[in-house]
Structure 1
Amino acid sequence: MLQNKKGSWKVSLVALMLVLALSVVAACGNKNSSEPADNSPVVATYEGGTVTQNQFDKELANMLFFYPSYQQMIEMDEFRQYFIKQQIAYLYLEDKATDDAKKEGKKEAEDQMAAIKKQVGDDEFKKMLEAQKLSEQDVLNYMTRIMTVVADYNAKVTDEQMKAQFEKDKNNMTTASVRHILIGFTDPEGKERKKEDALKLAQDVQARLKKGEDFAKLAKEYSEDPGSKENGGLYEDAAVGEWVEQFRDAALTLTLNEISDPVETSYGYHVMKVEKRTEKTFDTLTDDEKKQIRSTVASEEMNKFMDAELKKIVKDEDIKLPAVKKEEDKQDDSTSTEGDKSQESDKSSDADKSQDTNKQESTDKQTDEKPADDKK
């Protein structure tokens, strides 16, 4: 409940790509001879290659395979421009990756694919493919390129870069055992609670704790944080970087084992007690923590590439994606089609009327001629 949440779609896409969360990259390149001939128009040209409309559409399909909620986003021209640049970046970077990175990327992609199939089941996996009109190989190609570029960037991270990143992040990597009682800005029934009322309740709890009442017992009775309430308000040996800013800062600075004044966050007021705090040093990092730091550095290097280098590889004027048709345009097209049909119907009707008139005139003439024949 106390986790910190942030990020726009642009930031999240780059971040997801670099922590092995499947995001935008090139699904199929121009160099795979096993691919069927692609006669669709070229929609982008970059240093070393091109992207066709079919390739771009397949890229969108791969992204939607993992993120169906992005369906509306792909209708945004701005997003599509950003997306195709990401696709180009990964086409370009995959081509430049080392052989070792390509081997590692392929293996990681196969492992991830197996894990996904196991998680969702074969039937659901098949439905997911059919929904986007993809083959399993399409998705595997897509994932392999992600993993290849990730592996290549990770391999380039130096110890000096990791140590520098650790110095930036070490406060967030500090672990702490913290008890707290949350008095929220909404009550247990979901009704909004005035700030002053929440603060008054928090101060009452604080006073009782300072008189020596049992923290765990009061937490179970009064705390409105479902993540810690039943555990006596305790978050044990947690990384403080996972918490919202005000709660994190308090966990880093409060005197150990003292009852705090109410700390305000977006959730409400917290009465806190820090029972233990352990600061990290670089040489005590676990393998997972080092992997996380390495991934962070690689992500920042990727951002630098996107900001500074990508524009040298592909120019805006070399991207010629057709604009997405808006609803009003589709309606106009529909109206135009109906109008054309109406005109055709009118023409047909006029032609029928003309034929009827001609038939009538012909009949009249024949009727006029018959008396003359009788006279003869």
Structure 2
Amino acid sequence: MTQPVYLDYNATAPLRPEALDAMTAALSTVGNASSLHGFGRQARRTVEDAREQVAALVGARPAQVVFTAGGTEANNQALRACGRTRVLISAGEHDSVLQAVPQALRIPLRRDGLVSLAKLASLLAEEPAPALVSLQLANNETGVMQPVAEAAALAREFGALVHCDAVQAAGKIPVDFALLGIDLMTLSAHKLGGPQGIGALVVADDVELRPLLRGGGQERGRRAGTENVAAIAGFGAAALAARQGLGRLQVWRDAFEAELMALGPAVTIFGAAAQRLPNTTCVALPGLAAESQLMALDLAGVAVSSGSACSSGKVAPSHVLAAMGATEAEAQAALRISTGWASGQDDYARFLEAWRPLAQKAMQALRPAEGAVTA
């Protein structure tokens, strides 16, 4: 039986062996990281070593890293606990940002998937009240990378704080918290080969953050609850391994996309005109429903996504693609192919082998019937 191919790293990455080893070691010991005896001190060392590794991945200081139960919690804390009631977010943000502050003003996206900085400036200038701006570093569906540093510099002119959801970017491209000029950054372990259920919020020194969870003094009083030592250890080990980079992926991805485009002009790759993550392709062929593609590819042993994994179970048009001006037919046909640390170039070939017959059949249906009269 042919080995299945996993091409859905933006949903979750396979656990790195380094992370598994670190978690196994942590699970083999006992100790609450808040206890003062030797067992507790050992658990505390594990947590603080991991904090240093996560901080190093994104150019932050360990004291700025607050461990959370995942990216969703970190996004909610950033948006709801910093004391700013006026919030501006891009129209392409993850649902955990969109739903954290439903009344937030939306910054529109251009056709290429980039945020409109002119509109951001206009929205910031509308009211004198200091705002919070939330802008993802890279989109989970298209891979489009936003001009976060430029947006942060602009926001500073209006006294705004800036939060960046870097969940998809960290571990795939170089990320530097200080150079971006932001105040808050969200991270998630399982997107870069760590365990699920652990994330972090990086907080600038001068930002006051109210804890969403109360009941203990953990994480310097910013997040109550006994630390998940094993998951934190896995996060740290994955962050350390991820610093090796994924440069090979862009070469493979570009060659793959050239083959996709060679199939015909009806094929659309979203965000192709913008800078994107090196591992992500969002492709559509109108007339080829995403749900049908997912089923056929799964039967062929190829795992991809039709968008955000948090929306799986309901194949619906993407709000990200809609914000980019995609047609309904394009949005309903869109697939996301995403690779990562354990991927090989042959994985793309397996996708093409399974997808090309579907695409050719769809394109045949798009052509006028032979001999038909056309206007």
The answer to whether the superposition gives a TM-score over 0.5 is no
TM-score (norm 1): 0.22
TM-score (norm 2): 0.22
Which of structures 1 and 2 has the larger relative contact order (alpha carbons within 8 angstroms, sep 6+)? Answer: 2
Q: Which has the larger radius of gyration?
A: 1
